[in-house]
């Protein structure tokens, strides 16, 4: 195929210097302020209520992403669309993670609506408002404010389209529509998630000549065609539009794309007729991820789009299976933000789409097997074995994530991790926890550590490989965690215990039918603040110690009480003085904790950063 074209009238996009370090997971100041202005302290509210306002005789359309038309006049349109993982099948191929379980094939990682499908919904709203005889020729000043994810398997979006005056023109052949997308919440205010201007004409404009494309020091990509969606991208078959990477350099990338069939995008609609080609546009955006991957490897960072300056369209979507060359200039505009321009060129050498100012935010992947767990959640472990020989248990530890990583971008990475690791009932419990504070993170990381310890036990004892979602951690009425596994309904599971401190989570599984309690403490508490936890005899003991030994003993005594109460299966019950230290070794590494008539032997280990107590009985 000859994709050459006349480039005599070309203007090359602007370029910027390139950094040599990986971007960090934060927003530019100006972008963060823009988002704060729009989303805080209270979200921008839709002007529509949640009830349908449409007259019964409003016309229906076959615009596949528009949904129900609630209101339509000559200048305004409002529509309501519910996306579901069941009906909108393309979303099953846009989930943040690989297959979760061989036993639960229908359980998916977190689905997210691709940015380009939001563009399609906006374009359809504009097209429906002005009439199907008009063509969407360009989109401008497109801004996404947050991820649109299907945390519970569905999400409702409302499009509000408003006619705009066309500057310096009285031609009826040109129209301009401003569209806003709102995410609707059952108990919360409607939140603005996307907005931009859509321009339409009765006919497409003449396509410009392609940009001159001359990469500096081009290199052959390291990714083979067969690995494009195996090791780098998370897209499933319906959205795998990148077929071959031709070349790349520090200032761009060139690739062969294929127009995807829309026949299986929806469960029952058949082949969809779209205003844009959201699948092809998404494939173009994927090239930024491949560009990052060629520089630092696929496990080093994620980059996701949030803004487009302009998108120009010069023809209707091409037939499925058509070949398209995508040429992109890419540059870092800050430590953590990319900007790209694209030319999409058909087999005749004609530009079919041009995109300017496509911006992505980059997030550095934590160095804790997070990437591998996303790609292979059934077999990888987020935790690491920890003090298993010393404690005589299968103990595993999850270290804290980089500061603010799990909370950034409205908690998208935390929610992604929850969907990778939790069963459906556990997800419901997790979502019911407070969004603010550390409770969600502590609970999630503790469950992950517990599941990993149980997976290690199942592998070693049962010779069965289980995924995190296959194991459900439940709690007794007293709060003691225990394991359940629907794939092994008759299996008796060993006792387990969970603890967390200062962002660290540990969990341990007992062997040989023992009861187990474990506790970790990383703080250095002051005696005055801990006095309510100790008996008078314990306080007197602590007061007689040197300052250095006192700090160590405070942690040790507290951890011993916690571990004993967990092994008993009832917890401290807000009465730590009822759990009395009755014996202790000179180094406080062995203690006897008495509760009523019961005694609990506790072993302790002191490192430079934490105290760990284990009670086995």
Closest CA to 81 of 251, 244, 249, 266: 266
Six-digit token pair at 135? 């063509």
Do 259 and 300 belong together in one domain?
Answer: yes
**pLDDT single digits (tens) 331-353:** 999 988 999 999 999 999 999 99
CATH code for the domain of 374: 3.90.470.20
d(CA 83, CA 88): 6
364 pLDDT band (50/70/90 cuts)?
Answer: confident
Do 346 and 217 belong together in one domain?
Answer: yes
**pLDDT single digits (tens) 135-156:** 999 999 999 999 999 999 999 9
Is residue 471 in a domain? yes
Closest CA to 526 of 543, 540, 541, 505: 543
Under DSSP, the state recorded for 462 is: I
Using DSSP's 3-state secondary structure scheme, residue 305 falls into strand
Using DSSP's 3-state secondary structure scheme, residue 117 falls into helix
**Pairing, β 351-364 against β 337-345:** antiparallel
Does the pLDDT at position 270 exceed 90? no
d(CA 95, CA 412): 12
More confident residue, 35 or 378: 378
Helix (H) or strand (E) holding 175: strand 174-184
Do 155 and 186 belong together in one domain?
Answer: yes
In total, how many domains does the chain have?
4
Q: What percent of the chain has pLDDT over 70?
A: 88
Q: Answer for the pair 509, 516: CB distance below 8 angstroms, yes or no.
A: yes
- pTM greater than the 0.85 cutoff: yes
What is the structure's pLDDT at 526?
80
Q: Answer for the pair 346, 352: CB distance below 8 angstroms, yes or no.
A: yes
φ/ψ (deg, to 5) at 241: -95, -10
Q: Answer for the pair 469, 423: CB distance below 8 angstroms, yes or no.
A: yes
Using DSSP's 3-state secondary structure scheme, residue 361 falls into strand
**Of 188-192, 386-390, 449-453, where does mean pLDDT reach its minimum?**
188-192
410 pLDDT band (50/70/90 cuts)?
Answer: confident
* Interval 160-189 mean pLDDT: 85
Do 394 and 427 belong together in one domain?
Answer: yes
299 pLDDT band (50/70/90 cuts)?
Answer: low
Do 272 and 390 belong together in one domain?
Answer: no
374 pLDDT band (50/70/90 cuts)?
Answer: very high
Return the exposure string of 235-270: e unless at least 16 CB atoms fall within 10 Å of the residue's CB, then b: bbebbbbbebbeebbbbbbbbbbbbbebebbbeebe
Is residue 37 in a domain? no
N-terminal to C-terminal alpha carbon distance within the chain: 74
Q: Which of 349, 365, 381 is the last residue of a domain?
A: 365
Interacting residues of 611 by C-beta distance below 8 A, sequence separation 6+ = 520, 521, 552, 555, 556, 559, 604, 605
Is residue 372 in a domain? yes
Do 249 and 134 belong together in one domain?
Answer: no
d(CA 221, CA 528): 62
Is residue 38 in a domain? no
Is residue 584 in a domain? yes
Do 501 and 566 belong together in one domain?
Answer: no
Is residue 186 in a domain? yes
- Of how many residues is the chain composed? 617
Do 419 and 535 belong together in one domain?
Answer: no
Does the pLDDT at position 35 exceed 80? no
Q: Answer for the pair 577, 531: CB distance below 8 angstroms, yes or no.
A: no
What is the structure's pLDDT at 24?
34
* Interval 376-394 mean pLDDT: 97
Determine how many CB atoms are found less than 10 A away from the CB of residue 169: 11
Do 181 and 69 belong together in one domain?
Answer: yes
**pLDDT single digits (tens) 514-567:** 999 999 998 777 888 888 999 999 999 999 999 989 989 999 999 999 999 999
φ/ψ (deg, to 5) at 226: -70, -20
Is residue 417 in a domain? yes
Does the pLDDT at position 201 exceed 70? yes
Do you find a cis peptide bond into 410, omega within 30 degrees of 0? no
272 pLDDT band (50/70/90 cuts)?
Answer: very high
Q: Answer for the pair 593, 560: CB distance below 8 angstroms, yes or no.
A: yes
Is residue 1 in a domain? no
What is the structure's pLDDT at 502?
93
Do 173 and 233 belong together in one domain?
Answer: no
d(CA 611, CA 591): 14
Six-digit token pair at 489? 């309904």
Closest CA to 576 of 587, 588, 585, 563: 563
Six-digit token pair at 90? 């393309």
Relative orientation angle of helices 278-296 and 115-130, to the nearest 10 degrees: 160
| Residue 404 structural domain | 366-514
Do 88 and 64 belong together in one domain?
Answer: yes
Q: Which of 181, 203, 225 is the last residue of a domain?
A: 203
Under DSSP, the state recorded for 163 is: E
* Interval 582-602 mean pLDDT: 97
d(CA 96, CA 411): 14
DSSP assignment of 15-73 equals -----SS---S---HHHHHHHHHHHSSSPPPPSS-SS----TTPPP---TTT-EEEEE-
What is the structure's pLDDT at 187?
66
Average predicted confidence (pLDDT) for the chain: 89
Q: Which of 514, 542, 572 is the last residue of a domain?
A: 514
Closest CA to 349 of 231, 447, 168, 207: 207
Six-digit token pair at 102? 């061989």
**pLDDT single digits (tens) 413-447:** 999 999 999 999 999 999 999 988 899 999 999 99
Sign of CA pseudo-dihedral 184, 186, 188, 189: positive
Does the pLDDT at position 407 exceed 90? no
**Of 186-190, 359-363, 453-457, where does mean pLDDT reach its minimum?**
186-190
Do 246 and 299 belong together in one domain?
Answer: yes
């Amino acid at each position: 195929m000859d994709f050459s074209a006349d480039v005599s009238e070309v203007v090359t996009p602007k370029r910027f210097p390139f950094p040599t370090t990986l971007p960090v997971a934060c927003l530019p100041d100006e972008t963060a302020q823009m988002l704060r202005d729009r989303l805080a302290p209270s979200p921008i509210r839709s002007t529509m209520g949640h009830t349908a306002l449409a007259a019964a005789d409003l016309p229906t359309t076959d615009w596949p992403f528009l949904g129900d038309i609630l209101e339509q006049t000559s200048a305004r349109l409002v529509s309501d669309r519910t996306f579901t993982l069941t009906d909108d099948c393309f979303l099953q191929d846009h989930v943040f993670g690989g297959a979760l379980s061989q036993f639960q094939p229908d359980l998916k990682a977190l689905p997210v609506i691709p940015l380009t499908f939001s563009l399609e919904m906006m374009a359809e709203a504009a097209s429906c408002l002005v009439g199907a005889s008009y063509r969407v020729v360009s989109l401008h000043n497109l801004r996404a404010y947050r991820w649109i994810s299907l945390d519970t398997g569905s999400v409702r979006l409302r499009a509000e389209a408003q006619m705009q005056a066309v500057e310096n023109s009285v031609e009826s052949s040109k129209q301009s529509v401003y569209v806003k997308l709102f995410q609707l919440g059952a108990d919360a205010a409607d939140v603005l998630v996307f907005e931009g201007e859509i321009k339409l004409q009765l006919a497409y404009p003449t396509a410009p000549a392609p940009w001159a494309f001359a990469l500096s020091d081009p290199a052959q990509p390291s990714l083979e065609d067969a690995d494009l969606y195996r090791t780098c991208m998370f897209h499933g078959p319906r959205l795998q539009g990148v077929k071959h990477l031709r070349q790349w350099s520090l200032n761009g990338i060139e690739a062969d794309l294929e127009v995807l069939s829309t026949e299986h995008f929806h469960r029952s609609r058949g082949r969809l007729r779209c205003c844009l080609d959201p699948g092809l546009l998404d494939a173009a955006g994927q090239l930024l991820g491949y560009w990052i991957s060629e520089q630092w490897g696929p496990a080093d960072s994620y980059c996701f789009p949030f803004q487009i300056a302009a998108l120009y369209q010069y023809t209707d979507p091409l037939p499925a299976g058509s070949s398209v060359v995508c040429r992109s200039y890419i540059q870092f505009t800050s430590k953590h933000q990319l900007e790209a321009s694209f030319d999409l060129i058909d087999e005749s050498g004609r530009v079919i789409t041009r995109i300017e100012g496509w911006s992505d935010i980059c997030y550095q992947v934590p160095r804790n097997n997070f990437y591998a767990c996303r790609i292979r959640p059934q077999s990888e472990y987020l935790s690491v074995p920890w003090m298993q020989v010393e404690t005589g248990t299968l103990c595993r530890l999850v270290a804290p994530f980089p500061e603010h990583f799990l909370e950034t971008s409205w908690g998208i990475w935390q929610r992604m991790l929850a969907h990778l690791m939790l069963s459906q009932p556990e997800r419901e419990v997790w979502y019911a926890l407070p969004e603010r504070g550390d409770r969600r993170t502590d609970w999630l990381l503790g469950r992950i550590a517990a599941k990993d310890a149980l997976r290690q036990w199942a592998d070693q004892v049962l010779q069965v490989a289980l995924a995190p979602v296959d194991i459900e951690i439940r709690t007794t009425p007293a709060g003691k965690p225990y394991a359940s596994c629907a794939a092994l309904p008759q299996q008796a599971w060993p006792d387990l215990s969970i603890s967390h401190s200062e962002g660290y989570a540990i969990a341990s599984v007992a062997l040989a039918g023992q009861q187990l309690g474990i506790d970790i403490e990383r703080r250095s508490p002051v005696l005055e603040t801990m006095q309510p936890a100790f008996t008078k005899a314990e306080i007197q003991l602590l007061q007689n110690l040197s300052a250095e030994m006192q700090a160590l003993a405070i942690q040790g005594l507290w951890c011993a009480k916690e571990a004993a109460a967990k092994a008993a299966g009832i917890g401290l019950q807000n009465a730590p003085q009822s759990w009395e230290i009755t014996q202790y070794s000179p180094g406080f590494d062995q203690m006897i904790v008495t509760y009523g008539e019961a005694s609990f032997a506790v072993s302790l280990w002191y490192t430079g950063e934490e105290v760990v107590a284990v009670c086995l009985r």
